[in-house]
């Protein structure tokens, strides 16, 4: 069995399509402290995905709610 590697470059459109299809999550926590005293704390969470991909994974982990149930 032979494994073939492709060295063909991807176009920007293919890369963006792949990112929107699979999604990318950036999670960062930055803390600046001086002599044990916290001066600044920043927490960043960003998700880059298509709406369809986001809803699929959000439903899987229970982050979405049924609008009809919320209104009742």
Whether 72 is in a domain gets the answer no
**What domain range is 55 assigned to?**
24-63
Residues 6+ apart with CB under 8 A from 26: 44, 45, 46, 47, 48
| pLDDT tens digit sequence for 5-59 | 555 667 888 888 888 888 887 889 899 999 989 999 999 888 788 888 878 877 7
Whether 43 is in a domain gets the answer yes
Whether 17 is in a domain gets the answer no
Whether 32 is in a domain gets the answer yes
Whether 14 is in a domain gets the answer no
Pair of tokens at residue 56? 């699929």
Greatest extent of the chain over all pairs of C-alpha atoms, in Å:
60
Q: Is the pLDDT of residue 69 over 60?
A: no
**pLDDT given at position 32:** 92
Q: 3-class DSSP state for residue 23?
A: coil
Q: How many domains does the chain have?
A: 1
| pLDDT tens digit sequence for 5-18 | 555 667 888 888 88
**pLDDT given at position 18:** 83
Whether 40 is in a domain gets the answer yes
**pLDDT given at position 64:** 67
């Amino acid at each position: 069995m032979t494994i073939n590697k492709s060295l063909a470059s991807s176009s920007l459109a293919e890369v963006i399509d792949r990112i929107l299809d699979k999604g990318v999550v950036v999670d960062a926590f930055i803390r600046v402290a001086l002599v044990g005293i916290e001066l600044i704390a920043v927490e960043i969470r960003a998700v880059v995905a298509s709406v369809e991909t986001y809803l699929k994974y959000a439903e899987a982990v229970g982050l979405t709610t049924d609008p009809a149930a919320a209104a009742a």
